[in-house]
Chain A
Amino acid sequence: MANTDKQVNELIKREYEHGFVTEIESDTFEPGLSEDVIRRLSAIKNEPEFMLEWRLKAYRRWLEMDEPEWAHVHYPKVDYDSISYYSAPKKKEDMLQSLDEVDPELLRTYEKLGIPLHERAALAGVAVDAVFDSVSVATTFKEPLAKAGVIFCSISEAVKEHPELVKKYLGSVVPAGDNFFACLNAATFSDGTFVYVPKGVRCPMELSTYFRINAANTGQFERTLIIAEAGSYVSYLEGCTAPMRDENQLHAAVVELVAMDDAQIKYSTVQNWYPGDENGKGGIYNFVTKRGACIGKNSKISWTQVETGSAITWKYPSCILRGENSVGEFYSVALTNNYQQADTGTKMIHLGKNTSSTIISKGISAGHSSNAYRGLVKFGPGAEGARNFTQCDSLLIGDKSAAHTFPYIETKNKGAILEHEATTSKVSDEQMFLCRQRGIDPEQAVSMIVNGFCREVFKELPMEFAVEAGKLLEVSLEGSVG
């Protein structure tokens, strides 16, 4: 077994491959947060008055809030005055007319990350909004999408071009004062993605946003808003990376989804922020609020996430199932290695009749990491005939890792049915023996077992992502098997 241990340990030690820094001139605010900073931010973005008001209101609320401490994570307190709240690559003109005007250095960065922004080179059928530090630098396939009636642009653009939609929906799912980090985001969000799919439209291609943190000592606060009108369908992917730095960086995003009658939103994330080095130094604090509202009848929101990055993850993509027969789904693989800490899960709030939800969560902890599933399933008094199935399994690799489960179940309706299962186990000696006996080396064997463990979730991912996720898992596991 000792030999196996060694080989496996080597496997886990592969390095973070997106850790490079792009040398690019950027406009960065002085660190610190105040009403002035927010006014400046709003002015730079040419925002209408209502946005500024909204931000300031949120900021004043935030000042009165305390940072939450209930999550099963430990970290030194973030000094919110040492963070810069805005950083954007310098550009010559105010508005980019086409991709050709994007700084070639930026394009190269995205190419290096495997996200070619040139449309002809881009993956067929995936439109990308690329967010670099605080701003969206490019959005591809805008025209073909516009033809279908789909609005896909950065949220700053949406604030200006479609203020009526933004005004109506921004903060409707995650109110500005929802929680400490969401409130901070409401005050300081700098960019993000806006998607609007009109009635009856099936979005012709996958939409995606690629987030990249580049500048040091900055926080990234982006906000995503997706609205699917009656009978529409949209699939959205999100990916993220950051350079390797010794300091911790804060990422506090908010994602809001709105689904009307018969609409479907599929939201997939492959989160690969820099997780810190093998001694737990550096890495991104990923404190994110994601929530979808199934407002209409028969609507459906599906969250799929593969979480391998970040020093600390604090994230609970949730569904509010208000419409009759609406469906919420949550598929998650969260892998932690070295000194990473994750406290992640979901909330399924059943309010409407015959609503149903499925939760499949797979946590894998290796090294000295700690991985917690925290979930809430709630059946309101009106949730007649509601149904939930939850399965959360943990896999432990190495005897220094930890796995936790904190499921909250609240039922107020006798017509509701709920099942919850959870197991915790390790990669067993028998499994390893069986594989090795058949000539599979330990590294491959572990990777195979882990992939099998996550299968249920991977099959929910769009194809390109599923391949990436599988590989990512292998990389992240390197050196952790023992």
Chain B
Amino acid sequence: MIAAPRLSSSFLQASGHALPEPLMALRKQRGTALIDMPLPTRKTENWKYSSRYLKLDDELATGLPAAGKTGPELAVAGYHVVFHNGVMVPEASDYPDVDGITIQRFADLDDDEALELAERLDNTLDSNAVQLARLNSARFEDGLYIRLKADAVLDQPLYIVCETDASTPGSAYPRIYVDAGRHSKITLVEEYITSGAESAMVNTVTEFALSEGAQVTSIRLALDGDNVQHIGATGARLKNNARFESHTVGFGGPLRRHDLQVRLEGPGAECVLNGVVVTQDKQHYDNHTTIEHVAPHCNSDETYRNIAADESHAIFNGRIHIHPDAQKSNANMSNKNLLLSTGAEIDTKPELEIYADDVKCAHGATVGQLNADSIFYLVSRGIGRREARALLSMAFINELVERIPVEPVKETVQARLNLFFEQTFNEA
């Protein structure tokens, strides 16, 4: 047996940024736990198809400098917070000061607040399943702590733009924690983008704690460049009657990994998870989702669609776990995949693990190609072959894009997807 590769110790070097004491202590403690951590290999079940894309060279260990720049220009107006290499840029940010809603960067927390946060960080994620996201807990240099008091409602979506500036090689660790109080309501848009052309890694963790009746909508756009490996984790815990809605849109890259873990802990909790992934060239994208039905009477509905072109590789792994007492659970999972080229690969594994009998669970998965009859139909009506294929491919995922509840985001995504299909089919 060849010994599994280990995380290079250079990834665990002390970070330069000053944070409130409790967070520094947490970071140190998490770092110690990662010493000699084995890196995932082909034999690691949840990295089976992706470990070969993971390249954690020593040069990536260096924390990317946060230059305090003004940040990227935003395409959309509205509340926004800008992160540059994992550190917030207050000058570029504009967010409301509303009663009952506190939005703070980690660096600005007082000791009591920091202590409270340190106790909460990581509590929505199963750390065994998100091995590499644990690196974030050891390395984050700043973050955003959002608290909503009972009945607080944020009237507009909050955009969080995380720019990875890869002017030099290195890594960045953006971090977000949202604590949504009883019957509060918030829509969050996370957007991950890249500037600079050196190789880099961005490792993100976003957590949501939803109290009774809280409603959170999370939209996540992974738009990083082809020089950036993206490893992200999102965790959500839901109490009674809370509702979590997630829309993720991902474009491929050298390594793209997103773990989404939702725990339905109170009766009546509900989650809706939608995901769209498109990959081309030699790109990669790996979505892993877990829905834990811990309490009875919960609903979950999950729909993911992947399109892989050229020699790219898209992966979906969805797991629904119904705990022994979670009677009257309702869970639905659907994963449809479109393979546009024979060089491309799609791997999918929709899993069910059920320990209660009075449940309704179903999952479905398909892999296929564009329907020749449909193409013929369009061509016979005077639409070009390429255009027809682009149109049909767009139609395959547009149903999910249409569900994105924030209009400007939806339009941005549609424009980017159209561009993607234009590129894909023009080369073909």
Determine, out of A48-56, A276-284, A414-422, the stretch whose residues face the partner at the interface. Answer: A414-422
**How far, in angstroms, from A399 to B326 measured CA to CA in the complex?**
10
Q: What residue in chain B is nearest A428 (Cβ atoms)?
A: B358
A265 smallest CB distance to B (angstroms): 28
In the complex, chain A residues 369-420 whose Cβ is within 8 Å of any chain B Cβ: 379, 381, 384, 394, 396-420
Residues from chain B with Cβ under 8 Å of A401 in the complex: 357
Q: What residue in chain B is nearest A406 (Cβ atoms)?
A: B351
Q: What residue in chain B is nearest A412 (Cβ atoms)?
A: B345
Residues from chain A with Cβ under 8 Å of B367 in the complex: 379, 409, 411, 416-418
B366 touches A424 (CB 8 A): no
Residues from chain B with Cβ under 8 Å of A381 in the complex: 342-343
A409 touches B347 (CB 8 A): yes
Interface residue? B355 (CB, 8 A) = yes
Given A399-B327, A422-B352: A414 touches B366 (CB 8 Å cut-off)? no
Contact residue among A410, A418, A422 (Cβ-Cβ distance under 8 Å from B366): A418
B45 touches A399 (CB 8 A): no
B286 smallest CB distance to A (angstroms): 13
**How far, in angstroms, from A379 to B347 measured CA to CA in the complex?**
10
A414 touches B342 (CB 8 A): yes
B357 touches A411 (CB 8 A): no
Contact residue among A398, A411, A423 (Cβ-Cβ distance under 8 Å from B346): A411
B357 touches A414 (CB 8 A): no
Residues from chain B with Cβ under 8 Å of A91 in the complex: none
Residues from chain B with Cβ under 8 Å of A379 in the complex: 367
Interface residue? A75 (CB, 8 A) = no
B365 touches A399 (CB 8 A): no
Interface residue? B337 (CB, 8 A) = yes
Residues from chain B with Cβ under 8 Å of A416 in the complex: 339, 367-369
Contact residue among B347, B357, B362 (Cβ-Cβ distance under 8 Å from A408): B347
Residues from chain B with Cβ under 8 Å of A412 in the complex: 342, 344-345
Interface residue? B353 (CB, 8 A) = yes
**How far, in angstroms, from A285 to B269 measured CA to CA in the complex?**
41
A422 touches B364 (CB 8 A): yes
B365 touches A411 (CB 8 A): no
B361 touches A399 (CB 8 A): no
Q: What residue in chain B is nearest A417 (Cβ atoms)?
A: B368
B358 touches A403 (CB 8 A): no
A396 touches B352 (CB 8 A): no
B45 touches A403 (CB 8 A): no
In the complex, chain B residues 362-403 whose Cβ is within 8 Å of any chain A Cβ: 362-369
**How far, in angstroms, from A419 to B353 measured CA to CA in the complex?**
20
Q: What residue in chain B is nearest A373 (Cβ atoms)?
A: B352
In the complex, chain A residues 412-444 whose Cβ is within 8 Å of any chain B Cβ: 412-426
**How far, in angstroms, from A410 to B49 measured CA to CA in the complex?**
10
Given A399-B357, A403-B354, A405-B352: A414 touches B365 (CB 8 Å cut-off)? no
Contact residue among A398, A405, A418 (Cβ-Cβ distance under 8 Å from B351): A405
Interface size on A, residues (CB 8 A): 36
**How far, in angstroms, from A99 to B353 measured CA to CA in the complex?**
50
B342 touches A423 (CB 8 A): no
**How far, in angstroms, from A406 to B347 measured CA to CA in the complex?**
13
Contact residue among A384, A406, A417, A423 (Cβ-Cβ distance under 8 Å from B349): A406
A418 touches B349 (CB 8 A): no
B349 touches A408 (CB 8 A): yes
Given A396-B357, A399-B357, A422-B364: A414 touches B352 (CB 8 Å cut-off)? no
Residues from chain A with Cβ under 8 Å of B365 in the complex: 407, 409, 418-420
How many A-B pairs fall under 8 Å by CB?
A: 112
**How far, in angstroms, from A6 to B138 measured CA to CA in the complex?**
56
B114 smallest CB distance to A (angstroms): 41
Contact residue among A70, A384, A404, A424 (Cβ-Cβ distance under 8 Å from B359): A424
Residues from chain B with Cβ under 8 Å of A400 in the complex: 324
B345 touches A418 (CB 8 A): no
Contact residue among A406, A415, A421, A425 (Cβ-Cβ distance under 8 Å from B369): A415
Given A399-B327, A409-B349: A415 touches B356 (CB 8 Å cut-off)? no
B363 touches A411 (CB 8 A): no
Given A394-B354, A396-B357, A404-B353: A424 touches B362 (CB 8 Å cut-off)? yes
Interface residue? B340 (CB, 8 A) = yes
**How far, in angstroms, from A352 to B365 measured CA to CA in the complex?**
22
B224 smallest CB distance to A (angstroms): 26
Q: What residue in chain A is nearest B309 (Cβ atoms)?
A: A414
Interface centre among B342, B347, B360 (most CB of A within 10 A): B342
Interface residue? B350 (CB, 8 A) = yes
Residues from chain B with Cβ under 8 Å of A413 in the complex: 339, 342
Interface residue? B62 (CB, 8 A) = no
Interface residue? B93 (CB, 8 A) = no
A93 smallest CB distance to B (angstroms): 49
B347 smallest CB distance to A (angstroms): 5
**How far, in angstroms, from A26 to B353 measured CA to CA in the complex?**
45
Given A397-B357, A419-B366, A426-B358: A404 touches B351 (CB 8 Å cut-off)? yes
B356 touches A410 (CB 8 A): no
B89 smallest CB distance to A (angstroms): 43
Contact residue among A399, A420, A422 (Cβ-Cβ distance under 8 Å from B358): A399
Interface residue? B341 (CB, 8 A) = yes
A422 touches B339 (CB 8 A): no
Q: What residue in chain A is nearest B340 (Cβ atoms)?
A: A414
Q: What residue in chain B is nearest A383 (Cβ atoms)?
A: B342
Residues from chain B with Cβ under 8 Å of A425 in the complex: 359-361
Residues from chain A with Cβ under 8 Å of B352 in the complex: 394, 403-405, 422, 424
Contact residue among B347, B348, B356 (Cβ-Cβ distance under 8 Å from A399): B356
B227 smallest CB distance to A (angstroms): 27
B195 smallest CB distance to A (angstroms): 34
B350 touches A411 (CB 8 A): no
B333 smallest CB distance to A (angstroms): 9
A424 touches B337 (CB 8 A): no
Residues from chain B with Cβ under 8 Å of A409 in the complex: 346-349, 365, 367
A418 touches B361 (CB 8 A): no
Residues from chain A with Cβ under 8 Å of B345 in the complex: 410-412
**How far, in angstroms, from A419 to B364 measured CA to CA in the complex?**
8
A420 touches B342 (CB 8 A): no
A411 touches B354 (CB 8 A): no
Residues from chain B with Cβ under 8 Å of A406 in the complex: 349, 351
Contact residue among B341, B343, B350, B359 (Cβ-Cβ distance under 8 Å from A407): B350
Residues from chain A with Cβ under 8 Å of B356 in the complex: 396, 399
B261 smallest CB distance to A (angstroms): 18
B342 touches A404 (CB 8 A): no
Q: What residue in chain B is nearest A387 (Cβ atoms)?
A: B368
Q: What residue in chain A is nearest B366 (Cβ atoms)?
A: A419
Residues from chain A with Cβ under 8 Å of B364 in the complex: 419-422
Residues from chain A with Cβ under 8 Å of B327 in the complex: 399
Q: What residue in chain B is nearest A70 (Cβ atoms)?
A: B45
**How far, in angstroms, from A413 to B311 measured CA to CA in the complex?**
11
Supplied contacts A409-B367, A413-B342, 18 more A-B pairs, CB within 8 Å:
A396-B357, A399-B327, A400-B324, A404-B352, A404-B354, A406-B349, A410-B347, A411-B337, A411-B346, A415-B369, A416-B368, A417-B368, A417-B369, A418-B366, A418-B367, A419-B364, A420-B366, A425-B359
Give the 6 A-B residue pairs with the shortest CB-CB distance, closest first.
Answer: A396-B357, A420-B365, A424-B361, A418-B367, A405-B352, A414-B339
A-B contact pairs, 8 of them (CB 8 A): A398-B357, A399-B324, A409-B346, A411-B345, A414-B344, A417-B369, A420-B350, A422-B363
Chain A residues close to B by CB (< 8 Å)? 70, 379, 381, 384, 394, 396-426
